[in-house]
Amino acid sequence: MSAPDTVLHRGLFTTLDRSNPAASAVAIKDGRFTAVGHDHDVMKLAGPSTRVIDLKGRRVLPGLIDNHLHIIRGGLNFNMELRWDGVWSLADAMAMLRKQVAITPPPQWVRVVGGFTEHQFAERRLPTIDELNAVAPDTPVFILHLYDRAMLNAAALRAVGYTKDTPEPPGGEITRDAKGNPTGLLLAKPNANILYATLAKGPKLPFDYQVNSTRHFMRELNRLGVTGAIDAGGGFQNYPEDYAVIQKLSDEGQLTIRLAYNLFTQKPKGEKDDFLNWTRTSKYQQGTDYFRHNGAGEMLVFSAADFEDFRVARPDMPQEMEGELEGVVRILVQNKWPWRLHATYDETISRALDVFEKVNQDMPLDGLHWFFDHAETISDQSIDRIAALGGGIAVQHRMAYQGEYFVERYGYGAAEATPPVKKMLDKGVKVSAGTDATRVASYNPWVSLAWLVTGMTVGGLRLYPPRNCLDRETALRMWTENVTWFSNEEGKKGRIEVGQLADLIVPDRDYFSCSEAEIADTSSDLTVVGGRIVYGAGDFKALDTNAPPPAMPDWSPVRSFGGYGDWLGTDGKAKAVRANAMQMCGCSSGCGVHGHDHARAWTGKLPVSDLKSFWGALGCACWAV
């Protein structure tokens, strides 16, 4: 047996292999684990050309796999977007916006496209249109908040051409002033099409810039420990045209995320034609371990799309839903294509199950890895029906961003098991976890893991009692081995095990011993995909030789602000928050409080609205000095 390419030793490996749960060293050859065990056994395998990496006692986990990520669409746009993911004050967010406006040339826009919620900000609010106009009188600014609203400054309204004569969009609203002129606020009521359509009017990056952008998005995911994902397609994402960039990167061996992709129908009433065409021209599972076809969805037919804006009442699906859905599902079953279906509410899920059960009577679904996405309000009966049909449920951490709105509409009691993750697992259904990034939630997997473990929103609201929270190992399995069923890759990845693909991460803190409050702040110091180091930081920075060229264009927000919670680097961010806190406080005393140790607390996630006044939860104590 030839020597391994790489040996990693002196580590604390959580393998998730129940027959070999812990190890201190692994050997990797040709992109797969060839040995998983103790240092003295594995080190004997190393040869003269083997690269040996000393982990210095650090925790090692299998690489994280996102079950629902819009990575292909997100990659095309990542370099153009100012991300507010992980920014904990509106003051800091607006400072970022102001800086980006100053360097963005016309006719380009400044875009903040989802991944955040107003509840994460210490101020507990969004910016006003007047504030946007003051920061950017001439540069178009577009801000997407979840899938409920978009905010456009006056320059953006001019750029998209919305006037008093613009008709109201179906399922949406262009809010207007007393004279009928658009104010700049667009609302999904509940259809998000007006938000999508408006964003699509903005300038696009040229092809070579999109290639660079996608590489930077993958690197950002690698920084956070993501080694794989299932792409869920997306609105205004056309196949195969918008897949040319990711295909090029795959062909050239530049993918640093293993990607399985689903095909999302393109236009209402044309769904059957889409899938008839695609099942003729594409083969399920065609591709490689880095880029492969994964079936249909998350949109199968537009009449089955129950938009997830909890600020408005649940939408009723039209009568034609069942007939249209059945037509598409029959095409998929006939061609042995699995599917995923977006469904927020149990009312939609139960109607879809009626269709699946009907098709199953004469075209059995046996062996097809089909599943529902989201399923926030799924009932016990629907879980049982999914289990009986052999399906799965892919949950995402959307409630971490929308939980406050859900509670406001339906109450705490209804929110306690939304979605009922623990019950799904107890009933034996195939269940996994992901983000639904980049628009409705952040792409940070650790926010999802924290949500599964703590039951808390990013705004600090505790949604779930302990009975619907997971222990850390179960949550980790939801992000690793459990996801492989959803891409029909069981036994191939998801664990640190001999024969599996060599994907692993070394987090910057011990996931199993850090406090619950620290989980969401985790990133990776070493990310390995197929035995190749795709990201390194800290002790492993010298091993990182795969960084892409600088973000293109040169005014890209990625150059100035990086990614999630990294907009000035860890030290720079802390200093910036403290400096901002000092300015807002306005006092001159040199006491311990006014050294602004409370600034760190302001960036925390307390479920209160009054943080900074005398009587606030973190109020100043200068009166005592």
Neighbouring-strand partners of residue 152: 142
Average pLDDT over the chain reads: 92
The pLDDT score that the predictor gives to residue 1 is 72
Overall average pLDDT of the 270-297 stretch: 97
Task: Indicate the SS3 state at residue 207.
Answer: helix
Q: CB neighbours of 577 closer than 8 A, spacing ≥ 6?
A: 88, 89, 92, 599, 600, 602, 603
What tens digit of pLDDT does each residue of 208-224 get? Answer: 999 999 999 999 999 99
Distances (CA, A) of 242 to 234, 235, 551: 11, 11, 20
Please, what's the b/e burial string for 47-81 (b: 16 or more CB within 10 A of its CB; e: otherwise)? Answer: eeebeebebeebbbbbbbbbbbbbbbbbbbbbbbb
* The total number of residues written for the chain in this structure: 625
What tens digit of pLDDT does each residue of 350-363 get? Answer: 999 999 999 999 99
Structure tokens, 581: 């806190």
Contact 449, 475 (CB under 8 A): yes
Structure tokens, 184: 């700049």
The pLDDT score that the predictor gives to residue 136 is 98
Report the C-alpha gap between 235 and 446 in whole angstroms.
26
Task: Indicate the SS3 state at residue 185.
Answer: strand
Cα atoms in the Cβ-side hemisphere of radius 13 Å centred on 116: 28
The pLDDT score that the predictor gives to residue 140 is 98
Report the C-alpha gap between 174 and 594 in whole angstroms.
45
Grade residue 238 by pLDDT with cuts at 50, 70 and 90: confident
What tens digit of pLDDT does each residue of 411-445 get? Answer: 999 999 999 999 999 999 999 999 999 999 999 99
Q: CB neighbours of 173 closer than 8 A, spacing ≥ 6?
A: 186, 187, 189, 194
Structure tokens, 242: 């918008």
Cα atoms in the Cβ-side hemisphere of radius 13 Å centred on 530: 11
Contact 502, 453 (CB under 8 A): no
Q: CB neighbours of 583 closer than 8 A, spacing ≥ 6?
A: none
Q: CB neighbours of 63 closer than 8 A, spacing ≥ 6?
A: 225, 226, 227, 228, 480, 493, 503, 504, 505, 527, 528, 529
* DSSP structure string for 437-500: BTTSS-S-HHHHHHHHHH-B-TTS-B---GGG---HHHHHHHTTTTHHHHTT-TTTSSS--TTS
Overall average pLDDT of the 511-521 stretch: 97
Grade residue 190 by pLDDT with cuts at 50, 70 and 90: confident
What tens digit of pLDDT does each residue of 148-159 get? Answer: 999 999 999 999
pTM, rounded to two decimals: 0.91
What radius of gyration, in Å, describes the C-alpha atoms of the chain? 24
Q: Is the pLDDT of residue 599 over 60?
A: no
Q: CB neighbours of 125 closer than 8 A, spacing ≥ 6?
A: 90, 118
Structure tokens, 410: 């339906």
CA angle, residues 119, 124, 130, in degrees to nearest 5: 120
Reported as type and span, the H/E element at residue 173 is: strand 172-176
Beta strand extents in 470-613 (DSSP E only): 504-507, 524-529, 532-536
The pLDDT score that the predictor gives to residue 601 is 44
Please state the three-class secondary structure of 303-368 as a single string.
Answer: HHCCCCCCCCCCCCCCCCHHHHHHHHHHHHHHCCCCEEEEECCHHHHHHHHHHHHHHHHHCCCCCC
298: phi then psi, degrees, rounded to nearest 5:
-80, -15
The pLDDT score that the predictor gives to residue 567 is 56
What tens digit of pLDDT does each residue of 558-574 get? Answer: 999 999 986 544 333 43
The pLDDT score that the predictor gives to residue 575 is 37
Report the C-alpha gap between 529 and 32 in whole angstroms.
10
The pLDDT score that the predictor gives to residue 308 is 84
Q: Is the pLDDT of residue 496 over 90?
A: yes
Overall average pLDDT of the 296-317 stretch: 94
**In the chain, pLDDT over 90 holds for what percent of residues?**
87
